[in-house]
Amino acid sequence: MTTVQVNDANGWLVWGERVLLVALILLFATRGFIPAWRHLNTDFPNYYLCARLYRQGYPIERVYEWTWFQRQRDRLEIDQRLVGFIPLTLPSMLPVMPWCSLPPLQAKHFWLLTNVLFLLATGFFLKASTNLNLQRVAFLTLLAVVPLRDGFRFGQMHVFVLVLLTFAAWLYFNDSGFSSGIVLAIAAALKIYPALFLIFFLFKKQWRAATGLIVGLSGAGLMSLYLFGRDACRLYALQVLPRALRGEVTDPYNVAWNTFTALLRRLFIAEPELNPTPVAHMPWLYALLQPLVHGFIFVVFMWAISSKKPDGDRAKIEWASYLFLLLFLSSQAGSYHFVVLILTAVLVIDYLVAHQQRILAGFAVLLYALICGPLIHLPRVSPTGWQNLLFFSRLGFMTLFGGVLLWMLVPRSAEWRAYFNFRNLIVPASALLVLVVVGFISTQKHLAGQFENYRARIATTPEGLLASDPVVTSNSVLFTAMTREGYAIRRLQAGSIVDLPRLGSNWFHPTASEQPDSGWAEQSSQEGSRVVRVLANAPEDNPASWKVEANNAQEPVVSRDGQLLAFLRPVNARNSLWVRKIRTAGEEPDGAGSSEIAGAEYDVREASFAPDHRLIFSSHRTGRFALYVATLSGDVQQMTRPTCSARYPAISPDGRWVAFSCEHGGSWQLRAMDLQQDHELQLSTGDCNSVSPAWTTDSKHLIYATDCGRGLGLTALAEVTVFP
């Protein structure tokens, strides 16, 4: 009788799993695959656009510039409002390279079909690595509802990373450690965190696997240097990667990340636009708690992993736990990152079922489903102050799931008590102390000086995404702004901010003369960029009255007397510098008066007029940035000062000073130099960027763009006094 009841129970369980599996398949198809097939959505256009630009020979390091990348999106007419390649790795564009010559949506179709194959291959390796049948493997895979939905809709790389991690695990379990390390290195070229398995291999004394990973990473690095060049790799290593590891790309305060880093930032670091109401602005407490929390979790997990001699099943749980640990400690983990949690979940459930721990297995499945479900938001509650804790549901479920893993890892026999003696605890305690001290000092140093410009911010809007390229007139400040709909020109006047009409176009880089009634800006479209003259003080005017000043032109700069217009013109993916007289009524765009000042070999980036109509421009001609002086006759000479890699020149209205940004260890700092005496002033500090300076009309103050306390390159505007 009992046997019949057990068989009946098992039968109902099997049929219940089948019904849920069918429901999950339908859910994935209707919420994930079909919408992904119909629309580009967010992330796939970034990979696609980068791959296409690389194939066309564009300077690939520029893909990490927000406005430049958006301009290329307009030129190729990609149906996506905003694009950006930060913080993606350069090799991550390679998997979509075979289809980048196709239209974007068609290319995505091929990528989606490839991802289906990746998912099937993942199921094959999971089945080969466990005792679970295909039905349960499929059920646990599709139970990652939101990660798979978003991974497919966004066209992300994480399904590819999942199959690589699963293949690497299968190789590792079958004593092919060197090959496992090689496969992990391929995954690390797409997303950095698999490279951290090197710590796991060294800790477990898996020397062949560690060697394979080191060899693979070295090969990936050399391949990147060969394919993308030194400049692009250096920019990623010095600027993008460090900020990515600290969770300072895009919006570092976004509750959608649901990580300890994001939570501690929301609680203890203020930012005027992105996080105006934390519990308190105490960066020192963040600098202490962030390494303390991460260090404690890391040490506890590594101690638990080493608490018992491994066998076949133990090796699988250790791999699953370490992969979970990498996700748990991630600084910015989007929903799609948790696609790789499928591997952890399948290995854990297989272990628990095999050891007859069905209740714990059921609890683990529930937690896994909650982690991979939608974030829980309480109605009528805002993420302010201590209420931020209510917006990190996934982090809470991850903590509980981590508890299950620790329960599985740590022995509960007589060995348990033996492990809690002084000799066994002194090493992890010492490791934790070192991690906290080093982390505290490093974070304090990183945060030093980043918040000094908060009081000097001049254009604060709720949840402001980006403000850059300021230009100062006698009565207002014009600047480029990233909005949810695209890029627009905004005007700050008398404390209020007004948008110029966009009419479906993206607008960049405003400029103006001493006369406040007119301004110029770059309008970007499929036909390329053009410089348009607009009425800066009357954004409500009919845009049909705007006049095209120059076609095939971008980043305009107007002399202060309003007589000359300088602009950049791309030639074979490099910028040349042109100047023309401001056209009069009835004159056609690009008519008489346009002349090339510096050819494309200079690859000009920014320019500024002196009162005598000379130009100072930045160039990437020699593999590093330098400032040059040019006359209207085309005489170009490199400036002997500054000696640093310098960009963003801005000459003061009185013609005596030039402001610029100087690179220091991967960040750009603001300086001003006396053109007569070569005397330099340091105007900004901090492990962040201060760029695009613009002088006020009295030559005493600078308005500039800064990403201090914000995401990389997602700047806000601030003011600094040069001369009191």
Query: pLDDT tens digit string along 485-526?
Result: 899 999 898 888 888 777 778 999 999 987 766 789 999 988
The whole-number pLDDT of residue 349 equals: 96
Same domain membership, residue 529 and residue 386: no
Q: How far apart are CA 489 and CA 440, in angstroms?
A: 40
**Do 489 and 499 touch, CB atoms closer than 8 A?**
yes
**Do 579 and 565 touch, CB atoms closer than 8 A?**
yes
- Residue 515 CB contacts under 8 Å (≥ 6 apart), including other chains: 562
Q: What is the mean pLDDT of residues 205-212?
A: 96
SS3 category, 575: strand
Residue 696 — very low, low, confident or very high, per pLDDT cuts 50/70/90?
Answer: very high
* Residue 405 identity: L
> Helices marked H in 551-602 — which ranges?
none
CA dihedral of residues 274, 276, 282, 283 (deg, nearest 10): 20
In this structure, the strands spanning 486-493 and 466-472 are unpaired
SS3 category, 400: helix
Q: How far apart are CA 493 and CA 168, in angstroms?
A: 58
Q: How far apart are CA 354 and CA 133, in angstroms?
A: 12
Q: How far apart are CA 94 and CA 223, in angstroms?
A: 12
pLDDT higher than 70, residue 624:
yes
* Burial track 493-519 (b if 16+ CB lie within 10 A, e otherwise): eeeebeebbbeebbbbbbbbbeeeebb
* Residue 482 identity: M
Q: Bigger pLDDT: 720 or 664?
A: 720
Tokens of residue 377, six digits? 């938001």
The whole-number pLDDT of residue 631 equals: 93
Q: Please report where in the chains the tokens 């060294």 appear, as a residue.
A: 202
The whole-number pLDDT of residue 423 equals: 64
Reported as half-sphere exposure (CB side, CA atoms, 13 A), residue 691 has a value of: 24
Residue 694 — very low, low, confident or very high, per pLDDT cuts 50/70/90?
Answer: very high
The whole-number pLDDT of residue 391 equals: 93
Provide the sign of the torsion angle of the four alpha carbons 502, 504, 505, 509, taken in this order. Answer: positive
Q: What is the mean pLDDT of residues 548-569?
A: 92
Of 402, 419, 447, the last residue of a domain is: 447
The whole-number pLDDT of residue 407 equals: 92
Q: What is the mean pLDDT of residues 645-656?
A: 94
**Do 480 and 491 touch, CB atoms closer than 8 A?**
no
Q: How far apart are CA 400 and CA 391, in angstroms?
A: 16
Residue 422 — very low, low, confident or very high, per pLDDT cuts 50/70/90?
Answer: low
**Do 655 and 634 touch, CB atoms closer than 8 A?**
no
Q: What is the mean pLDDT of residues 520-537?
A: 83
Q: What phi and psi values does residue 230 have, to the nearest 5 degrees?
A: -65, -40
pLDDT higher than 60, residue 586:
no
Residue 668 — very low, low, confident or very high, per pLDDT cuts 50/70/90?
Answer: very high
Q: How far apart are CA 344 and CA 323, in angstroms?
A: 7
Q: What's the whole-number average pLDDT of the chain?
A: 90
| Percent of the chain surpassing pLDDT 70 | 93
Same domain membership, residue 470 and residue 443: no
Q: How far apart are CA 590 and CA 14, in angstroms?
A: 74
Q: What is the mean pLDDT of residues 408-435?
A: 75
- Best CA proximity match to 567, nearest among 559, 558, 555: 555
SS3 category, 419: helix
Same domain membership, residue 534 and residue 498: yes
- Report pLDDT digits (tens) over 235-261: 999 999 999 999 998 899 999 999 999
Least confident of 302-311, 432-441, 704-713: 302-311
Q: How far apart are CA 648 and CA 627, in angstroms?
A: 9
pLDDT higher than 60, residue 678:
yes
Q: Bigger pLDDT: 678 or 595?
A: 595
Q: Please report where in the chains the tokens 């750009």 appear, as a residue.
A: 668
Tokens of residue 721, six digits? 């006094």
Same domain membership, residue 636 and residue 503: yes
Q: What is the mean pLDDT of residues 373-386?
A: 87
Q: What is the mean pLDDT of residues 44-48?
A: 95
Same domain membership, residue 473 and residue 432: no
The whole-number pLDDT of residue 539 equals: 47
Q: What phi and psi values does residue 250 have, to the nearest 5 degrees?
A: 45, -135
Count structural domains, the chain: 2
**Intra-chain end-to-end CA distance of the chain, in Å:** 94
Q: What is the pTM of this model?
A: 0.92
The whole-number pLDDT of residue 187 equals: 97
Give CB contacts under 8 A, 24+ apart, made by 305-313: 305/203, 305/204, 305/409, 306/203, 307/409, 307/410, 307/411, 307/415, 307/419, 308/409, 308/410, 308/411, 308/415, 310/204, 312/173, 313/351, 313/354, 313/355
Q: How far apart are CA 311 and CA 383, in angstroms?
A: 46
Of 414, 447, 480, the last residue of a domain is: 447
Q: Please report where in the chains the tokens 């992330």 appear, as a residue.
A: 43
Same domain membership, residue 660 and residue 544: yes
Same domain membership, residue 473 and residue 418: no
Residue 4 — very low, low, confident or very high, per pLDDT cuts 50/70/90?
Answer: very low
Q: How far apart are CA 255 and CA 382, in angstroms?
A: 11
pLDDT higher than 80, residue 202:
yes
**Do 252 and 447 touch, CB atoms closer than 8 A?**
no
Tokens of residue 643, six digits? 């000696």
**Do 680 and 633 touch, CB atoms closer than 8 A?**
no
* Residue 256 identity: A
Least confident of 283-297, 412-426, 563-577: 412-426
Task: Kindly state whether residue 174 falls inside one of the protein's structural domains.
Answer: no
- Residue 646 CB contacts under 8 Å (≥ 6 apart), including other chains: 618, 625, 626, 627, 660, 661, 662, 663
Residue 1 — very low, low, confident or very high, per pLDDT cuts 50/70/90?
Answer: very low
The whole-number pLDDT of residue 461 equals: 83
Same domain membership, residue 439 and residue 474: no
Least confident of 165-179, 469-483, 532-546, 683-697: 532-546
Beta bridge pairs of residue 548: 532
CA-to-CA separations, 165 to 82, 328, 508, in angstroms, rounded: 31, 17, 42
- Report pLDDT digits (tens) over 286-321: 999 999 999 999 999 998 988 776 667 889 999 999
Same domain membership, residue 476 and residue 443: no
Same domain membership, residue 490 and residue 412: no
* Residue 183 identity: V
Least confident of 44-58, 404-418, 649-663: 404-418
Q: What is the mean pLDDT of residues 425-448?
A: 91
Least confident of 356-370, 391-405, 536-550, 556-570: 536-550
What is the SS3 assignment for 91-120? HHHHHHHHHCCCCHHHHHHHHHHHHHHHHH
Q: What is the mean pLDDT of residues 257-282?
A: 95
Task: Kindly state whether residue 647 falls inside one of the protein's structural domains.
Answer: yes
Task: Kindly state whether residue 227 falls inside one of the protein's structural domains.
Answer: no
Beta bridge pairs of residue 507: 523
Task: Kindly state whether residue 322 falls inside one of the protein's structural domains.
Answer: yes
Task: Kindly state whether residue 486 falls inside one of the protein's structural domains.
Answer: yes
The whole-number pLDDT of residue 5 equals: 45
The whole-number pLDDT of residue 555 equals: 95
Q: How far apart are CA 144 and CA 126, in angstroms?
A: 15
Reported as half-sphere exposure (CB side, CA atoms, 13 A), residue 498 has a value of: 13
Q: Please report where in the chains the tokens 């394979």 appear, as a residue.
A: 212
In 10 A of CB 659, how many CB atoms? 24
Task: Kindly state whether residue 284 falls inside one of the protein's structural domains.
Answer: yes
**Do 546 and 561 touch, CB atoms closer than 8 A?**
no
- Best CA proximity match to 619, nearest among 594, 645, 596, 643: 645
Q: How far apart are CA 134 and CA 131, in angstroms?
A: 10
Residue 650 — very low, low, confident or very high, per pLDDT cuts 50/70/90?
Answer: very high
Tokens of residue 253, six digits? 């305060």
- Best CA proximity match to 669, nearest among 697, 653, 692, 637: 692
SS3 category, 278: coil
Of 447, 478, 509, the last residue of a domain is: 447
CATH for 687 = 2.120.10.30
- Best CA proximity match to 67, nearest among 409, 521, 418, 427: 521
Residue 416 — very low, low, confident or very high, per pLDDT cuts 50/70/90?
Answer: low
Host H or E run for residue 533: strand 530-534
Q: State yes or no: cis peptide before 242, omega within 30 of 0.
A: no
Task: Kindly state whether residue 561 falls inside one of the protein's structural domains.
Answer: yes
Tokens of residue 229, six digits? 């060049």
Residue 420 — very low, low, confident or very high, per pLDDT cuts 50/70/90?
Answer: low
**Do 343 and 165 touch, CB atoms closer than 8 A?**
yes
pLDDT higher than 50, residue 711:
yes
| Percent of the chain surpassing pLDDT 90 | 73
Task: Kindly state whether residue 209 falls inside one of the protein's structural domains.
Answer: no
Residue 397 — very low, low, confident or very high, per pLDDT cuts 50/70/90?
Answer: very high
Q: What is the mean pLDDT of residues 148-155?
A: 95
Is residue 69 packed enough to be buried (19+ CB in 10 Å), middle (13-18) or exposed (0-12)? buried
- Best CA proximity match to 708, nearest among 663, 648, 667, 664: 667
Q: What is the mean pLDDT of residues 441-462?
A: 91
In 10 A of CB 239, how many CB atoms? 22
Q: How far apart are CA 696 and CA 713, in angstroms?
A: 23
CA-to-CA separations, 206 to 80, 145, 368, in angstroms, rounded: 45, 34, 29
Same domain membership, residue 560 and residue 411: no
Least confident of 280-294, 301-315, 405-419, 629-643: 405-419
Residue 387 — very low, low, confident or very high, per pLDDT cuts 50/70/90?
Answer: very high
User: Domain range spanning residue 304?
Assistant: 250-447
Q: How far apart are CA 236 and CA 666, in angstroms?
A: 9
Same domain membership, residue 613 and residue 523: yes
The whole-number pLDDT of residue 540 equals: 47
Q: How far apart are CA 53 and CA 70, in angstroms?
A: 12
Q: What is the mean pLDDT of residues 564-590?
A: 82
